[in-house]
Amino acid sequence: MSSDSKPKKISPPNTDRPLLQRRGILAAGLAFSAGGWWIGDSAEADDRLMNEASPSDILSYLYSGNERFATGVPLAKHRDIDRVRQVAKEQKPFAAFLGCADSRVPIEIVFDQGFGDLFVTRIAGNIASSENVGSLEFGTLVLGAKVLFVLGHSNCGAVAATIKADDVPGQISGLFQHIRPAAKESKGDLATAVEINVRNQAITLSESSPVIAKLIREGKLAVAGGVYDLNTGKVTPVKLPTLGT
């Protein structure tokens, strides 16, 4: 490792981190902790470190970013014009997201990331429609994202409307068919439906895409799910079945 990629310590805002993140630190075997406090001295060094990280390290790194955001001590790195110029020629996002279009869930901010870090597709109800699957295949297979994260959120209007089976104008109801299984299984409970919908969309992503399933089998990609809380800013993991087999 060259000297400019030598990690430096950022004071942790909170040492009471979830087990997942502590495990990440132990498993990382890298010069940075996947808990997120040890990072490179430069944006280039950060990218090199992320390049060496495993999918589970990156997942832990994302959760540590969310913790920084939710506790009010974001690093807000990679958000200046130097970073814009650095990634102008080439992007190598380390994670890909399927999130809701809701204005209150801006994914880079929620996970304390910046330009060139995340490959994000957003659509109401975070549904894995075929166009989104195609985008995420590009983000993972071509660009090399190692985590594919489906992010739902509390009080999601698309999920709520599906539960109510609202009569809606235009093509809005086209979203409902994707969310209906979760609405049904939840027996009308919105929070449960949001969680089940994350799980269902993650399964759809893995099952409808041989490309994504292959990356998972090869250990190059981890699929994860979570729910963002509009009140606290925190993302809680959603347990997923074994995917990609």
Please give the residue ranges that form the binding site for Zn ion (CB under 5 A). 100, 102, 156
CB of 155 to Zn ion, least distance (A): 8
Closest by Cα among 51, 57, 3, 58 to 25: 57
CB of 99 to Zn ion, least distance (A): 9
Question: Could you tell me the end-to-end alpha-carbon distance of the chain, in angstroms, rounded to an integer?
Answer: 36
Q: Which residues of 147-171 are buried (b: 16+ CB within 10 A; e: fewer)?
A: bbbbbbbbebebbbbbbeeeeeeee
Q: How do beta strands 147-153 and 222-228 pair?
A: parallel
Give whichever of 120 and 156 is closer to Zn ion, judged by the CB atom: 156
Question: Computed from CA positions of residues 148, 152, 158, 160, in that sequence, does the dihedral angle turn out positive or negative?
Answer: positive
Give whichever of 201 and 206 is closer to Zn ion, judged by the CB atom: 201
3-state secondary structure 29-81: CCCCCCCCCEECCCHHHHHHHHHHCCHHHHHHHHHHHHHHHHCCCCCCCCCCH
Give whichever of 67 and 102 is closer to Zn ion, judged by the CB atom: 102
Q: Are the C-beta atoms of residues 93 and 117 closer than 8 Å to each other? A: yes
Question: Computed from CA positions of residues 190, 191, 194, 197, in that sequence, does the dihedral angle turn out positive or negative?
Answer: negative
Count of residues making up the chain: 245
CB of 224 to Zn ion, least distance (A): 18
Give whichever of 45 and 105 is closer to Zn ion, judged by the CB atom: 105
Give whichever of 36 and 125 is closer to Zn ion, judged by the CB atom: 125
- Spatial neighbors of 72 by CB under 8 A, at least 6 apart, are 13
CB of 157 to Zn ion, least distance (A): 6
Give whichever of 135 and 155 is closer to Zn ion, judged by the CB atom: 155
